[in-house]
Amino acid sequence: MRGALATTAREYGLRIAILVAVIVTFLVISKSFAGPSSVYAVLESFAFVGIVALGLSVTMIAGELDLSVASTAALMGVIAIEVAQFGLVVAIVVAVAGGALLGALQGWLIARLGINSLVFTAGSLIAIRGFAYIASNNTPVVLTDFAISDPLHTRFATFFSPSSVIAIIAFVVVGLFLAFTRPGRHIYAIGGARTEAIAAGVPVTSSMTLAFSISGATAGLAGAIACLKGGSAAPEGFPDLLLLAVGAALIGGIGLYGGVGTIWHVVIGVAITGTLTAGMATLAAPSYLSNLVLGVLLVLLLVADFFIAKAVRRRRLSRLREIVATDGEVPAEALVTTGR
């Protein structure tokens, strides 16, 4: 029990403390932050940056990174607006399916060709953005009937909207998939120890395809919701989305090297970034100042993680030396925990 609590505290403690500190800070310096509008704004951030960070985190857990999410969101946003005449649900489903297909194709090619995902998706983000310009005829596209998107603007139970509920459902589904299904465990395996995973028979190609498919689907979902709510889509849309989503994932504690992180890390990361953005908005601060604060926070967290990991390694090595001095031999489990 004590060991489980210690592990939980080590995994989430620092991030939760930062989230609490951010909330308390804005409660003190901004009188309007305590209202329900701030909670609503934070939940709405889950329906845009949060959904994209969710899918992006799956590729990060797989030891890869999908740089094309913003371009995918822009293209699927354009497509959603153009097919919205057939209904709101149809527009969203088409965008999600299109994003999933784009992501699956990228994941399959990356796995089959052995190309670095950073290099491949750096190229695909440009190509997909080009398709967005082609699909929109290089001009913003606008809903022909704005009443189609009215359900997305509904607000209920004070804090919620259909967008935030969709985001919550997406987080639950992906979280359960990663934690309790074999394909989810395969994604962790190829990210944490790919050579060993291949030797154990883990299907790398299908796992990679699935990871990027989820990333593409969530990008399409976020792009469709944002554009439908706004009533229009532009091919150059969402220029900051990639950095915001990666920042949220990293702030939450998703590892860049694969095999590290859970759905709760993404939730905490998006909650921190959403709370910061909402708090800065109540102070009427410019958006670039919010980005500056987020950037500084990310750097500080990465530095803190480095020193915490270093301290943990030193503690394990010290314990190993004590075992060797006492017993004269090194237990196998000690070698594993020290990474030797």
What pLDDT is stored for residue 311 in this prediction? 78
Residues (pLDDT < 70) of the chain are 1-7, 324-325, 327-340
Q: Over the stretch 264-277, which tens digit does the pLDDT of each residue have?
A: 999 999 999 999 99
What pLDDT is stored for residue 331 in this prediction? 53
219 burial via Cβ count (<10 Å: 0-12, 13-18, 19+)? buried
What pLDDT is stored for residue 13 in this prediction? 86
What pLDDT is stored for residue 337 in this prediction? 46
What pLDDT is stored for residue 256 in this prediction? 82
**Would you state the CATH architecture of domain 2-285?**
Orthogonal Bundle (1.10)
What pLDDT is stored for residue 2 in this prediction? 60
What pLDDT is stored for residue 324 in this prediction? 66
What pLDDT is stored for residue 304 in this prediction? 83
> Is the Cβ–Cβ distance between 206 and 290 less than 8 Å?
no
What pLDDT is stored for residue 78 in this prediction? 97
What pLDDT is stored for residue 329 in this prediction? 56
